[in-house]
Structure 1
Amino acid sequence: MEKPHRAVIAGANGFIGQFLSAHLIAQGWQVCGLVRKIPAEPVDGVSYQLWNGQSLGEWTSQLEGADLLVNLVGRSVNCRFTAENRQQILNSRIQSTQLLAESINQIEMPPKLWVNASGISGYAQNGAPGNDESAALDGEGFLAEVVRQWEDALFSAEIPSSVRRIAMRTGVVFGNHPGSAWTKLTQLARLMLGGPVGSGKQGVSWIAIGDYCRALEHLFHQHQLAGPVNFTSPNPLSNAEMMAAIRQLENRPFGAPAFSWMIHLAAPIVGIDPSLVLDSYWCLPEKLQSSGFHFTTAKISQMAQWGR
């Protein structure tokens, strides 16, 4: 009998980490989750190992002979971009990536594939048709700089050449989970507040959680894939189009708009930076599609299967 593949997921307690863990377990993988706290409701079949994301420890042995290492660690960007929060956002990503590189150099059999989270905010803001992975990371602003330093920590790390490295440049991940973007947007639509935000023309590059999990496993089997990979649907859309589609799914004919000046006034009260909803990114998953990956949720209208 063939030995099952084994994955180690750093940051397994988050929204994405929970879904990814459950997906891999369902596909016959063995999964170890590196977490700061053992979850009260663990994912069935996952073994958890405590770590602090800052120093080596017993958890390092979990990487020995692993087939896949996934790093999802990073302080949430859903906050005000104060000096302290900016430093935490950057440090959490850089330190965890550097620590994993250090741990790889401590073991005899390093993982075959290291997949590190990244973001699409490194790209310059643009209009349709969109950026694929050949576009430069020449975006401006804080989040663009975070992406550049994050990916540099991954690709400049001096680790064995046998370890294939991929940076997942991820858009907004939609799925039914408390506190997720999709849950918040559908709640707004039900309250008749799901109108366009700002101009409504800004691009939204998104991916359904089911396709995210399937795409990540797809990377493992596509040995020619390395470097940056866009984790976005092949159908980015404007904010106005997205909100209209969500209203239709929720059977709401109307949604009150939120003008840009409202966003700038409300953002400090809500505790977010206005750029999170007003910036524009149109991205395309060229590497995933050219390698044969098929999206099962390519359009927002198909989100009904994940939205409730």
Structure 2
Amino acid sequence: MKEIVLITGANGMIAKELAKKIGNEYELRFLTRKKKRDNEFEWDLRKKTVDEAAFENVSHIIHLAGANISEKRWTDERKKELISSRIDSAALLRSILTQKEITLKSFISASGINFYGTKTTEKIYSESDPPGHDFLSEVVVLWENAADHFKEHNIAERVVKIRTAVVLSKNDGALKKMIPPIQYGVGSPLGSGKQYMPWIHIEDLCSIYEFALKNSGIHGAYNAVSPQHSTNAELTKEIAQVLKKPLFMPNVPSFILKLIFGELSTAILEGSRASSQKIQQAGFRFKYPELKDALSDLLNKN
């Protein structure tokens, strides 16, 4: 009998790629707003309803649900949505598990590398460092607290929080947005370009989730970030080199990004480094530790 893994955030980039990776070894179920397949189950956060059949004999939950941080300007309403989509969804899962007296082998939650704050410094942050003091830090702290509640009342034998960096994937996310300007000859670094952009190849990220799923000794927070540290300017330059395109435009001024994105611009214009030592010391090995190799794999695929 295959163990059953329930995944939230079914329509997201990570869930789709993760399903390909672990689908042969585990029986997968997905929570989604609109059921399209037999292994999908509907839930509605506003109504606080969920198809309880999804939880029958479930062994693990991978909680990937959460509104996209960079999709819209951070209005007060959007900020509430960013928090609610993560915290209220976890609370709904916890309430059902408690009611049905289900004990999970693991609850593995997405989290964010912005736990440490959105600021450009020379410090390399590790999992033992305290959280920052800006909005994104607040979101991640609440997100992780919601995950930690699964350790209470025997709901989950262990809880893992994956502090995810910028995910590089050709099909979605930051890289998809960066490619077209460079292809058309108008790409350039953002702001000073000196801000660090912690990153991870989508395949390595999915492998970290698989690693956390299979290894009972994995618990607590882990930075899901490549060992190689890169700035925004270095990332932009490397993309251009892999695409064999010139870069000659001046940096996009910070004030323009602030006008366009408002408070969200801080997540674009600031960034520090984070260490991957903890996950590597646990035995994980990156397939794409170097930016050039990661981009070559993603951008040279048909």
TM-score of the pair, normalised by structure 2:
0.91
Aligned counterpart, 1:114: 107
Deviating above 6 A after TM superposition, structure 1's stretches of 4 or more consecutive aligned residues are none
Map 1:159-238; keep pairs closer than 5 Å. 159-160=153-154, 162-177=156-171, 179-238=172-231
Residue type at the aligned position of 1:143:
L
Q: In the superposition, relative to structure 1, how do residues 73 and 298 fare at CA in structure 2: closer, same or farther (>3 Å)?
A: same
One-letter amino acid of the counterpart of residue 272, structure 2: Y
1:31 to 28, 32, 54: 28
Mapping of residues 25-104 of structure 1, within 5 Å: 25=23, 27-38=24-35, 47-54=39-46, 57=49, 59-78=51-70, 79-104=72-97
Task: Say which SS state the counterpart of residue 67 (structure 1) adopts.
Answer: strand
Structure 1 Cα separation of the partners of residues 123 and 244 of structure 2: 29
The match for 1:15 among 13, 16, 23 is 13
Distance 2:47 2:274 in 1: 35
Contact map agreement 1:12 1:34 (CA 8 A) in 2? yes
Q: CA deviation at 1:55?
A: 5.6
- Structure 2: distance between partners of 1:147 and 1:288: 19
Structure 2 residue runs of 5 or longer lacking an equivalent are none
1:280 is paired with a residue whose SS is coil
| 8 Å contact kept, 2:168–2:174 | yes
Identity value in percent: 27
In the other structure, the counterpart of 1:300 is 291
SS at match of 2:45: coil
Structure 1 length as normaliser, TM-score?
0.89
Deviations 1:107-145 (A, max 9, x none): 3442211011111112033434511211111x1211111
What amino acid does structure 1 have at the position aligned with 2:141? Answer: R
> Residue 5 in 1 paired to residue 11 in 2?
no
Distance in 1 separating the partners of 2:153 and 2:198: 32
- Give deviations 1:274-295, integer Å, cap 9, x for gaps: 1121121211122210011111
More helix by share: 2
Q: Secondary structure at the match of 1:77?
A: coil
Change (3 A) 1:240 1:48: same
For the aligned residue pairs, the C-alpha RMSD in angstroms reads 2.0
**Conserved? CA contact 1:64–1:111, under 8 Å:** no
**SS at 2:99 equivalent:** coil
Which amino acid is 2:60 matched to?
A: L
Contact 2:44 2:50 in 1 (8 A): no
Report the secondary structure of 2:292's partner residue.
Answer: helix
The question of whether the paired residues in 2 share the 8 Å contact of 1:196 and 1:240 is answered with yes
Q: Secondary structure at the match of 2:285?
A: coil
Q: 1:159 to 1:126 in 2, by over 3 A?
A: farther
Q: Does the residue aligned with 1:62 lie in a helix, a strand or coil? A: helix
Count of aligned pairs between the two proteins: 295
State the secondary structure of the residue aligned to 1:204: coil
